[in-house]
Amino acid sequence: MQRPFEGIRVIDATHVLAGPFAAYQLALLGADVIKVEHPEESDQSRETGSDRALNRARMGTSFLTQSSNKRALTLDLKTPAGQEIFRRLIATADVLVENYRPGALDALGLGYDALSAINPRLIYASMSAFGSRGPRREHTAYDYVIQATSGIMAMTGTPDVNPIKFGSPAIDYATGTTGAFALASALFQRERTGRGQRIDMAMLDVAMILMGSHITAYLRNGAHPKPNGNANEYATNSCYETKDGLLMLGASNMRQYRRLWRVLERPEMIKASREEREHARAQETAVLSDILMARTADEWEAFFQARHVPAARVRSMADALADPHLGVRGIRHTHAGAQGVEGAFGVPVAAFQFADGGPRVDTPPPAVGQHTDAILAELGYDANAVATLRAQKVV
């Protein structure tokens, strides 16, 4: 079956993580994604990651993560010739995703008004730290700065050690995922209206939405979220030491809560309501701490899951990736190699599957400007014109 975005062209004028990840999700679903980079100052993610040799080759693991299925074009947008190429490219496109500083592309004559005049069906998505409107629009940030700004850091950590940032750049990935949803929505809307759309996305907005229930609680009664570490509001939703490691319990609803105490043969611990559970937290924590030391984390996980009580051993990334379950889910893809990358390497795919025509990796991440000649030829530039553009360092 045809994938959802086959025949859709996306111009990916983004860098680092959130923007490229949004475009990557569309590429997995069949879009022709063209990544546009400066000839000499490519996406900084090409030089970051755990493999220094790949960083030096400008194929760092941070870049590899979200660049499969894309084509790469180098272009200096500060030159008149580069701007002309970009306009020609936009005329063929359905979507532009950019994460330049707000107003930067407008200053180059490549803002929404100018480009939508060329292509009225264009969906122009701008992604930035704080959005294109508001007092902070000129401020810059990365994931961890947004974590600090939003209040997420302040609620993360333990009562004694806080604030703590996430181990993963979750705001970036959430912004990329939200961006892909926004782009898909705008494309669907265009099918009905025939008109393009302007999308304004801010990482800060995404971070706030990720705290939705906490925001509602605070706005209602001033309840400020506190850093509670691995302890949740109920004792049966918390993390415990076992004979050989940590176990996270998740007996949240009353049915699971009652089942947990029954399978542990402690029915007298069952409380009648959630409020009673909150008041009995210290007592329940003490009892569970004692009981759970009797077995290993793996043994407890098997025991509880067999009895429909949510529980899991706290795993490392290596443990999680070795789980046969992930092999079935298709969450990762292994490339045999790529230009500038010796040997096989794996990348994440998408967090969902379709019965037919779903996300799929087809081609490896491209080297800097790997498809420049081919893309320029599609736009009508012959070999002599391309050679001149290279000599002028436009591409």
pLDDT averaged over the chain? 97
Give the model's pLDDT for residue 12. 98
Backbone angles phi, psi at 67, to 5 degrees: -125, 0
d(CA 365, CA 69): 7
How many residues make up the chain in this entry? 395
- Give the model's pLDDT for residue 382: 98
Q: Where in the chain is the domain with CATH 3.40.50.10540?
A: 9-210+330-391
Digit-coded pLDDT (tens) for 320-360? 999 999 989 999 999 999 999 999 999 999 999 999 999 99
pLDDT of residue 88: 98
| pLDDT band at 133; cut points 50, 70, 90 | very high
DSSP symbol at 356: S
pLDDT band, very low/low/confident/very high, at 317 (cuts 50, 70, 90): very high
The residues facing 98 across adjacent strands are 13, 126
In the chain, CATH 3.30.1540.10 sits at 235-320
User: Which CATH class for the 235-320 domain?
Assistant: alpha beta
Answer whether CATH 3.40.50.10540 is correct for domain 9-210+330-391. yes
Question: Active site includes 172?
Answer: yes
Taking only the tens place, the pLDDT of each residue in 175-219 is 999 999 999 999 999 999 999 999 999 999 999 999 999 999 999
Interacting residues of 297 by C-beta distance below 8 A, sequence separation 6+ = 242, 243, 244, 245, 246, 247, 313, 314
Closest by CA to 19, choosing from 79, 66, 57, 61, is 66
Confidence bin at 59 (pLDDT 50/70/90): very high
Pick the catalytic residue from 12, 51, 172, 362: 172
Confidence at residue 182, expressed as pLDDT on a 0 to 100 scale: 98
Residue pLDDT, tens place only, 225-246: 999 999 999 999 999 999 999 9
pLDDT tier for residue 22 given thresholds of 50, 70 and 90 = very high
- CA atoms within a 13 Å half-sphere pointing along the CA-CB vector of 180: 25
48 Cβ contact list (under 8 Å, min separation 6): 55, 60, 61, 62, 63
pLDDT number for residue 210: 98
What was the pLDDT predicted at 339?
A: 97
pLDDT tens-place string over residues 244-271: 999 999 999 999 999 999 999 999 999 9
* Element spanning 128, H or E: strand 123-128
Distance CA 364, CA 382 (A): 27
Residue 77 has a pLDDT of: 98
- pLDDT at residue 46 in the model: 98
